[in-house]
């Protein structure tokens, strides 16, 4: 029977039933801890600022910003989930099978809700740019709230079905004590791949290609003051510059989202996940998480209202009476 040095085991008291630690140089471990911890804290803090900004200031209670709020909530949870990922640096999970299962379940819900929110954002921009005359009547705060609620509810229900096996019996696929792996059966994995990646990404790409084409023609019309007349005669109306700017900003958000998410699902799509070593798998997962840190940075670069909101929040002026009515736009 193979025996190990007790210092190499996650649970020394369990001897051969325990998983082995991943031995790395001390400098590498400390650097990884510091880097991931920093990203986690920054991600949670920045997205919390987005959540407070949109929730507090009445001027920001627009349909599009409600979608950004939903995205910020999912990104905030991603920041918190990264703390659990940090625990797996040495390959040891010390919180038990139940917490591991809850961690996996919440992670899948958050990613699924993020993808769903991106789809709704794409639909929102499609209507705003391609059908501007109907935007105010079709896209209302009430309808957006219902869509966001359905997005999160459907994500929770769908992932309950995808992860049915481990939810019924946490840790059933763990080979030793101290292991926490993301595992779903083949059929559930195919369903998750189709409904959480292939279908949503197809919808997002098709809608934004259409938005890009129309936005370019509208921008040219605005600059030339000639094409606008033809567009109005076509009963489309012209798109406001603010809508074009929002489409550009959210387009960047979508592109970055796809760049960060695609490696994870492409590995699943090719079925080569079993060929990844621990470091490669960790990189793919962390890249997916890192997208949540990038989104608030994009808002800060392109949205003046976010920068102004941050100043008011950091200076604690939001605690003053009627601060919710402050002019941030």
* pLDDT value of position 241: 66
CA 164 to chain centre: 23
Q: How many CB atoms lie within 10 A of CB 53?
A: 27
d(CA 288, CA 291): 6
Under 8 Å between Cβ of 47 and 298: no
Q: Quick one: pLDDT at residue 66? A: 93
Residue ranges covered by each domain of the chain: 6-325
Give percent above pLDDT 90 in the chain.
21
The answer to whether residue 274 scores a pLDDT higher than 60 is no
pTM of the full predicted structure? 0.83
pLDDT for the residue 267: 66
Q: What would the two tokens of residue 127 be?
A: 């209507």
Question: In which band, very low, low, confident or very high, does the pLDDT at 7 lie, cut at 50, 70 and 90?
Answer: low
Q: How confident is the model at residue 142 (pLDDT cuts 50, 70, 90)?
A: very high
Q: pLDDT: is 21 or 278 the higher one?
A: 21
CB 186 within 8 Å of CB 173:
no
φ/ψ of residue 204, rounded to 5: -60, -45
> How confident is the model at residue 296, as a pLDDT?
87
Per-chain mean pLDDT for the chain: 81
Mean pLDDT of 141-152: 94
Top-confidence range, 30-34, 120-124, 151-155, 212-216: 151-155
The pLDDT tens digits for 213-270 are 877 776 676 666 554 444 454 444 455 666 667 777 777 888 888 888 777 777 666 6
Closest by Cα among 141, 149, 143, 152 to 63: 141
Task: Give the integer Cα–Cα distance in Å for 69 and 283.
Answer: 27
Mean pLDDT for the stretch of residues 13-40: 81
Range 270-279, long-range pairs (CB < 8 A, 24+ positions): 278/22, 278/91
6-325: CATH class: mainly alpha
Band of pLDDT at residue 148, cut at 50, 70 and 90: very high
What is the mean predicted confidence (pLDDT) over 87-99? 82
Looking at residue 156, what is its pLDDT? 94
**In the predicted model, is pLDDT for residue 120 greater than 70?**
yes
């Amino acid at each position: 029977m193979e025996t190990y040095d007790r210092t190499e085991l996650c649970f020394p008291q369990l001897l051969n039933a325990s998983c082995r630690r991943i031995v790395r140089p001390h400098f590498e471990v400390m650097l990884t801890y510091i880097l991931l911890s920093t990203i986690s804290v920054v991600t949670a803090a920045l997205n919390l600022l987005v959540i407070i900004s949109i929730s507090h200031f009445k001027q920001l209670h627009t349909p599009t910003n409600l979608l950004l709020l939903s995205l910020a909530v999912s990104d905030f949870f991603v920041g918190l989930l990264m703390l659990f990922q940090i625990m797996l640096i040495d390959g040891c999970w010390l919180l038990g099978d139940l917490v591991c299962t809850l961690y996996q379940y919440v992670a899948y819900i958050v990613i699924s809700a993020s993808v769903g929110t991106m789809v709704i954002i794409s639909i929102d921009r499609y209507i705003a740019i391609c059908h501007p005359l109907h935007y105010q009547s079709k896209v209302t705060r009430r309808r957006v709230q219902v869509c966001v609620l359905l997005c999160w509810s459907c994500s929770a229900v769908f992932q309950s079905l995808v992860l049915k096996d481990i939810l019924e019996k946490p840790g059933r696929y763990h080979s030793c004590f101290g292991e926490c792996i993301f595992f779903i059966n083949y059929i559930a994995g195919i369903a998750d791949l189709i409904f959480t990646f292939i279908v949503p990404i197809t919808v997002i790409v098709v809608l934004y290609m259409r938005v890009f084409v129309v936005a370019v023609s509208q921008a040219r019309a605005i600059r030339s003051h000639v094409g606008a007349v033809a567009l109005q005669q076509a009963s489309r109306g012209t798109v406001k510059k603010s809508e074009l700017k929002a489409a550009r900003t959210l387009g960047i958000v979508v592109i970055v989202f796809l760049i960060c998410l695609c490696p994870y699902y492409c590995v699943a799509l090719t079925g080569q996940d079993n060929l990844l070593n621990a470091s490669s798998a960790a990189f793919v997962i962390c890249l997916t998480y890192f997208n949540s840190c990038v989104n608030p940075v994009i808002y800060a670069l392109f949205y003046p209202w976010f920068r102004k909101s941050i100043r008011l929040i950091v200076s604690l002026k939001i605690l003053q009476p009627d601060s919710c009515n402050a002019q941030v736009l």
